[in-house]
Each structure stands twice: as C-alpha cells, then as structure tokens.
Structure 1
C-alpha cells in the first residue's frame, strides 16, 4: 500500500479533537468522513468546523474559496459501517475508556476493507491493549494529536506490537502530506513522549505553587516568558548544547516527589486559575488566533497558502 492508495479518511468521534483532525486532512485534499452517535453531536461538529475555518481565513492562513473547498470535502454520518467501508485510513478519537476503544477497534476491524489502517488518538492508553481483539495487528497504530489538532503541527506516531514498518512509515508519510510533523515513538508507554514531559513540568509547577514559592500568575509568567519563549526553536537537548548540561544544579536533577492527593485537592479548590468559565469560548478563540499566527510564521511555507 502506498500513499496514493489512501483516498478517503475516516474520523470516529466528532468532538474537540475529531473535528480538528478532519479539518486537517480535508484542508490538504482528502475527502473525510466523520462519524458519531447522533445527529445533534454532528451538528455541533459541523458548526465547529465552519468556525475554525473562518479563523483560518481571518488569520490569513487560507482564502475563503479554500475554506469552502475544505468544508465540501467533509461529510458526516451516524453509520459507522458506512464510514468503515469507504475509508482507507481511520483515526478514532472517542472517550478514553479502554473497553469502549477495544469494542470500536473490533468493530472497525470487522467492517473495514483489509487494507485499511486503523489509528487511535489516545494519550493515556496503549495500542496493544486497545487493539487486542482486532485481527489486523499489522495495521494498528497510534497517531496522537495535540489540541487544537488542526493547528498544532506535531503528531506522535507509534506502532502497535504487530504493526509493520510499512504501516508505520506510510502513516508518517500521510501525516506529512497533510503538513503535520510526525514524531516517531519507538515503544509503548502511557503518556508516550510529549505528555510525559509536559506533565512533569506541570507537576513541578503545582508543587511550587502549593509550597507558596510564587503565585499561579507568576509561575505561568515565568514559564511563558522564559523557556516557553525559546521553545519554538529550542528543546531540552539543544538547550543542553547551548547552555552546557554541566551547569545544571544538583537540585534540578532531583525533582520533588509531587504526586499526592493532598496537592490535588488544594489545586481543585483553587480553580479556576485565570479563566472565567463564562468566557471559555472567547479564551479558546483568542488562543487559536495566536496559534494560527505562529503556524503561518513558523511552519507553513509561502506555497502552502
């Protein structure tokens, strides 16, 4: 199977991640089908897609004609069998419950043509558990997107235990064709790469807040205005090269043991930190506009829009 054989994309789940993944594939020419359990959910999915594409237009990422072409490539259905029969590559983005994902993978395995690759967007579970009842072990992969998935470029890719190198590389090639950056993961571990790294930072920040070292506002400011500012160009390993790993203090290599129930309770009582729940949609739109600007300036070539 080659990239040219992948004609249609299926996305199972039309929520926060699903609609964005569908936009990404449709934007780069792939007819895309989204399925969910009922038409009310799918009506919300279509509304989210329309709004997200409008932000792309307003941000100068694409023109109105391309937004309309993208929207025309996306169809929705409540019939999982219809999606399965027509799709060459499927990503599931349903709720993070193992039995539900196992059942879905089993259904898709039975309904899809033999060549179809089935991917999960999980961040917490692993492919070997999710796909345990599927027969096509050679075509099961992880494609873990990051919110908002139609904007954030990186996608973690990992093989299921029986997946072939061909399946893995074809998945990476497919993502690249939709202007994503495949992050090749060489094993299975809950959280995979990026979430384990960012959650480690969040745990340490939470502990410092609980100890009264700084307010949540100043911890947030310290992150986004220092190493957060560098991160579009510099990860930890390049930073080691630039700053010298030998300069790191001993206590930075021995972080606190900071996962405990008492801290969790403290943090839940302190929420919300900065965001008034009544202004949630406004905050998400503000974030997405900024991310679109960065995507255009840092990752998209002139020929992409």
Structure 2
C-alpha cells in the first residue's frame, strides 16, 4: 500500500507562508515515496470558518502546483464519526462534563496560583482547576437538563491508568531535537476538552478519528503540534485506532521570531501573489526546491 499524507488547514483565514511550507512538505513526501496526498478541511468551528476561506485554500494550493485527491473531507460533514468515538470513551467511564465558564476557570486558576505555582500544559495554558469530576451523576444530569453550557473532558488520570507507557515514531525532529521513538506524556495536558455542548468535537478527538478513517500513514506538520502528539497517541490507543508515524517540521517565523498568524498580511499567499511573486519565489523564500 502506498503511504498516505494529508494537509489539513482550517478555513478561518487566508493561508500564509507557514501553511505553504507545510503543504509543500507534505506534497514533497508524497512525491518522494510514491504516496497519496489528501486535503482535509478542518471546519468544526462554525463561528470562524467561512466558505470564502475554503475557496481561497483551493486556489492557493493549486497556484503552488499542489495536487490532491478528491473528494475533500470536510469535518463538518462527518460529525457522526466523532460522536461515535466520544460515545465509546464515555462508555469506558473516561468522560465527564465541566460547567465552569472561561471566566470562572480563570478565577479558579488565579486563586490557586495565589497559594503557589499552578501546573500548566506544554502550551502554557493552566490545567483544568475545577472539581466537576467529583459532581454526583444526578447533579450533572440536572445541570445539563437546565441548559447550562458545558465542556466534555477526558479524565486523564483514569485514561492513563488504562494503558501502558506510550510512544510514537518521530521521523522528523521535535523542538529539542527529539527523533526515533519518543515517549508520550499525555498526563502533562490534564483533563483535555473532547467536545462542548455547542461543538460536538475538539481538535484532539477529530484529528485522530480523521487520520484513522483516511488511512493516513505519516503525519507531516509543524513543531508547534509536537507535544500534542502525546494526547493523540493516548486517544488512538483508547479508541483502538492505528498510529501513524509523525514528522514534525520547523516553523516559519516572522522577523521577530514569532510563529506566523493568519492576520500577518506580509506573509499571506494572496498578498504575495498580488505583489507578483511566483510559486518558485515562494519555494525559494521557504528554502525548498
């Protein structure tokens, strides 16, 4: 079977040089290995994703000379797949609802940090500080029935007890030079959100389900997602999904050393095209052949 790669942007803005680099790296790997390249549109966030951004993604990738297989998978068309995975985790007793608002969580974190340092995840966000895990089932049901917003969280401690030590195959390089078999540390992320009342899945849940259903064999993506691979490996094991190899590449940064944003117009592909840049110019800017 030929290897399968995917480029999976979110249509919540226009693509920039960082997206171009990741898309071209995937296309290069597919070409080098005689593999297949898929395009996935990660459009779960209905409040930010817009059709014109999706159209622009197709235009920019085609302009770069990247070809992908059809049909394109749109996450918004496959909510039942994520719901089934969530129900499986719930049946294992590994999912619970939390009802604090973001403002309430911020207050809880501030109160805990007043008494000393509070643990944070690898991205720097504070771990969930609430006590919703201890709520009686009847109280959970009452709050849900009353319409209170909630997030569905993974009971990380319980999940980690279910599994042996995990690792993944890193064919690229982590931010600190990690290669080969890398030990996964999902516990560092705390009780991650798997879905919300108004959003039936999260990035972590949908990405592992999509990669498995699409037969992705090597995930090529930026080093900013290196640490999140620990959560993905945990979910793959819990759900009985295959684990692809991972190749994390360096990020394209601006002159100040910051990761590019979709609001960075100076590095937007549409702006560069309008300024007369060619696909070959883009490749030279990115240090690609």
User: TM-score, normalising length from structure 1?
Assistant: 0.32
Judging by fraction of residues, say which structure has more strand: 2
The structure with the largest helix share of the pair is: 1
Q: Bigger relative contact order, structure 1 or 2, given CA contacts below 8 A and separation 6+?
A: 2
* TM-score, normalised with respect to structure 2: 0.33
